[in-house]
Amino acid sequence: MWLVSQQPAHAAAATGVGGDTLVAFTLGLAAFAILLFLVLRNRSQPLSDAFTRGRGRRRIRRIANRAQLELLTDFILPGACDGLARIDGAILTPCGIVCLRAMHGNGMVFGDAGDPQWQNRGRHTPAAVPEPVIQNDGRVNADSAG
């Protein structure tokens, strides 16, 4: 039994790292990893959203180019009620202008036609989504308001 108790002390003396130092280092490393996760968790979502928006815009451009349609992207019109209407994309056709609103979301979107906001459920936190028909009416009226 005397040899078993002497081996860990001998190994610690040979490496210079005792049991207390190794535990303190491990706890410090774990605390740093948790802190880093908490700081970066909220920073990664905007980067992910920006990447997804860019990917969606490239898809819309590629589809419009294949169909040989004239596409206008990312512009602002004077909106109804002295506001501004942001247009993600507009395709010019012989019959009129088709406005595009590109949105990315996870889960399901629930709402009725008369509700001012719909709910995007299935995410970690439910998000409010503006009702698309009301948004579209604002874009249609933006042309006549200016």
Q: What proportion of the chain, given as a percentage, has pLDDT over 90? A: 7
Q: pLDDT tier at 16 (50, 70, 90 boundaries)? A: low
Side chain identity, residue 23: V
Say what the pTM is.
Answer: 0.48
- Average pLDDT over every residue of 118-146: 70
